[in-house]
């Protein structure tokens, strides 16, 4: 009898030894990501940009008992901004200097490791970072710091194709996690700090052939070109370094853009500087623009509008919301691009009026000066690259926020190809309050802040919400924190020993839910005991 039981229990384990079913990741699977909550198939978890996991095994009643399950050490210094993907028991992520790797999602043991060979003279703006992969078919896709787009085999990490998008020597690079849509890999370029002319590209996922390019700074003869003075459009910036979203109903990609170059000196580029600091609605098949909304016109404070836009359907309306670096939370009608509301969600001094459309307008005296001038928010913005989250259960939008003012000073710097080009310097203002950092829960219907949690110091961590009624965040001091999504009460924390610059995500293997986040130079995975 005893033998029988042992055999039976052994047989229950049979599945563990069977080869993993590595089904192809189709466009339809990403489109219906909610049907496979155990997987995390795209940067924000779904095409809506919500960073919401439908998993609820870890919830507000048991989160206090979370424990570390495994840690994967990258073995390199520098910031980790990666958001892992998980597909059918395998976790895919990236790290500094264009490392990519696949791990057994239950144990953290590597399946393959890849590192792109970078030239010595790349021009990364803000650390040798990468925010993650896209996956489609049997390939994962990574943009590199030398402005290549590469496709790696999901089973081996072998390079399937490798295309050069632009010349890294004049300042182009990729740090963004691409977005796979249909059979396309959509990716936006970095390099605003070097006076590049920004663009968003789409590549054939199978061959690597470029299918379309949308220049975020219009050339001669194109609408919007008149918003640039003289030849300033050629070095106008407006990069596109954070991942956009996709609306299947209208076949549109919503992609946000960054600041005009040079970032803190408007002299020489008079005009609105379209399509910098804008949200673009692009036809997914052609890259043609259907509409745009510019958040900050003629920006002089480095307030990239590159924050992930989140699609929300409420009251019969199809909306898209963004917590912008300039300190305002914007809600647009995503059908028309028309502004519905703009509410301050942090400390701001740059605007005290709105135009006829309700768009906040910059004060004349907010411009930087040679001697320096204090403006809030500072150059890092009220938020920045950190992924926000939206929870359809609480109907709250969660954002990592910062109150900081800087002294903005111009530096009349000539453009030279391949050299940093900001025309500016900024200093934390000693006269201002100490910087304060928050996790804020915003009601998109009213712009009201429903609750906020104050960090010891501002964090650059992204966020995750789950159907378990939780919000997860990390902090600059190395803690990973679970909070009640409704109240903001802290339920659990774990000291990871390194600052967090990455967003969390959730997945499940064998019916067990896990939460992952990169901190310091490692990827951490937590679960119930």
Classified as helix, coil or strand, 322 is strand
Q: How far is the CB of 372 from another protein (least distance, A)?
A: 8
Range in contact with another protein (rule: CB under 8 A) among 230-238, 288-296, 421-429, 520-528: 421-429
Which of 344, 411, 445, 528 binds another protein (CB under 8 A)? It is: 411
Torsion, Cα of 269, 270, 271, 277 (10° steps): 40
* Structure-block tokens of residue 63: 């989160």
Q: Is 225 helix (H, G, I), strand (E, B) or coil?
A: helix
Instruction: Choose the binding region for another protein from 153-161, 250-258, 286-294, 419-427 (rule: CB under 8 A).
Output: 419-427
For 434, residues 6+ apart whose C-beta sits below 8 A from its C-beta are none
Residue window 63-102: x/- pattern of binding to another protein, with contact defined by CB under 8 A: ---------------xx-----------------------
Considering only CA atoms, which of 162, 102, 12, 50 is closest in space to residue 387? 50
Q: How far is the CB of 455 from another protein (least distance, A)?
A: 6
Known catalytic residues are 302
* Binds another protein by CB under 8 A, chosen from 146, 193, 272, 513: 193
Radius of gyration of the chain (CA): 22
- Pairwise CA distance, residues 129 & 461, whole Å: 14
Cα distances from 95 to residues 75, 147, 462, 518, in angstroms, run 10, 16, 16, 9
* Contact positions with another protein (CB under 8 A) in 464-493: 475-479, 481, 490, 493
What's the half-sphere exposure (Cβ side, CA atoms, 13 Å) at 376? Answer: 20
Residue 186 and residue 209: Cα distance in Å, rounded? 12
User: Which DSSP string corresponds to 346-367?
Assistant: S---SEEEE-TTS-EEE-GGGS
Cβ proximity to another protein: between 247 and 475 the closer is 475
Residues 315-354: x where in contact with another protein by CB under 8 A, - otherwise, as a string? ----------------------------------------
String of contacts with another protein for each residue 127-166, x by CB under 8 A: xx--------------------------------------
User: Quick check: 301 binds another protein (CB under 8 A)?
Assistant: no
Q: Is 434 in the site for another protein (CB under 8 A)?
A: yes
Beta strands 436-442 and 470-474, pairing class: unpaired
- When asked if residue 440 is in the footprint of another protein (CB under 8 A), the reply is no
Residues in binding contact with another protein, number by CB under 8 A: 45
Residues that bind another protein (CB under 8 A): 78-79, 119-128, 193, 380, 409, 411-413, 418-420, 422, 424-428, 430, 434, 455-460, 475-479, 481, 490, 493, 495, 499
């Amino acid at each position: 009898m005893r033998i029988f039981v042992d055999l039976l229990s052994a047989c229950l384990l049979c599945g563990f030894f069977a080869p993993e079913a590595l089904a192809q990741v189709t466009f339809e699977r990403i489109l219906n990501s909610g049907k496979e909550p155990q997987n995390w198939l795209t940067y924000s978890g779904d095409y809506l940009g919500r960073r919401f996991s439908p998993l609820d095994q870890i919830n507000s009643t048991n989160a206090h008992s979370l424990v570390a399950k495994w840690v994967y050490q990258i073995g390199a210094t520098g910031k980790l901004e990666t958001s892992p993907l998980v597909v059918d028991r395998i976790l895919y992520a990236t790290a500094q200097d264009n490392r990519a790797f696949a791990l057994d999602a239950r144990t953290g043991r590597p399946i393959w490791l890849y590192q792109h060979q970078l030239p010595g003279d790349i021009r990364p703006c803000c650390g040798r970072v990468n925010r993650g992969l896209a996956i489609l078919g049997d390939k994962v896709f990574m943009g590199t710091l030398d402005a290549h787009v590469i496709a790696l085999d999901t089973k081996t990490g072998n390079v399937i194709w490798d295309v050069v998008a632009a010349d890294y020597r004049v300042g182009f690079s990729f740090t963004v996690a691409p977005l796979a849509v249909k059979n396309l890999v959509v990716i936006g370029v970095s390099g605003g700090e070097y006076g590049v002319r920004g663009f968003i590209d789409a590549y054939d996922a199978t061959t690597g052939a470029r299918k379309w390019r949308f220049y975020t700074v219009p050339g001669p003869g194109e609408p919007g070109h008149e918003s640039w003075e003289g030849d300033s459009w050629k070095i106008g910036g407006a990069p596109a370094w954070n991942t956009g979203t996709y609306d299947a109903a209208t076949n549109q990609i919503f992609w946000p853009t960054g600041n005009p170059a040079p970032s803190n000196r408007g002299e020489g580029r008079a005009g609105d500087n379209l399509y910098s600091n804008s949200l673009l609605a692009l036809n997914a098949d052609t890259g043609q623009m259907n509409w745009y909304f510019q958040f900050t016109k003629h920006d002089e404070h480095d307030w990239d509008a590159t924050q992930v836009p989140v699609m929300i359907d409420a009251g019969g309306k199809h909306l898209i919301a963004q917590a912008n670096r300039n300190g305002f939370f914007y809600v647009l009608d995503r059908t028309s691009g028309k502004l519905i509301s703009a509410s301050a969600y942090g400390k701001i001094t740059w605007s005290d009026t709105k135009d006829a459309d309700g768009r906040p307008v910059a004060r004349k005296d907010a411009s930087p000066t040679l001697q320096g001038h204090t403006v809030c928010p500072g150059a890092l913005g009220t938020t920045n690259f950190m992924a926000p989250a939206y929870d359809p259960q609480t109907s709250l939008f969660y954002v990592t926020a910062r109150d900081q003012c800087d002294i903005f000073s111009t530096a009349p710097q000539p453009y030279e190809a391949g050299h940093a080009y900001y025309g500016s310097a900024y200093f934390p203002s000693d006269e201002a309050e100490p910087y304060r950092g928050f996790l804020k829960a915003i009601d998109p219907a009213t712009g009201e802040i429903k609750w906020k949690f104050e960090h010891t110091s501002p964090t650059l961590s992204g966020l995750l919400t789950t159907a378990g009624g939780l919000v997860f965040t990390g902090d600059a001091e190395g803690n990973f924190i679970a909070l009640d999504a409704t109240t903001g009460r802290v339920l659990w924390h774990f000291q990871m020993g390194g600052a967090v610059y990455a967003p969390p995500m959730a997945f499940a293997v064998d019916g067990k839910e896990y939460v992952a986040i990169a901190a310091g130079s490692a990827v951490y995975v937590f679960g119930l005991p």
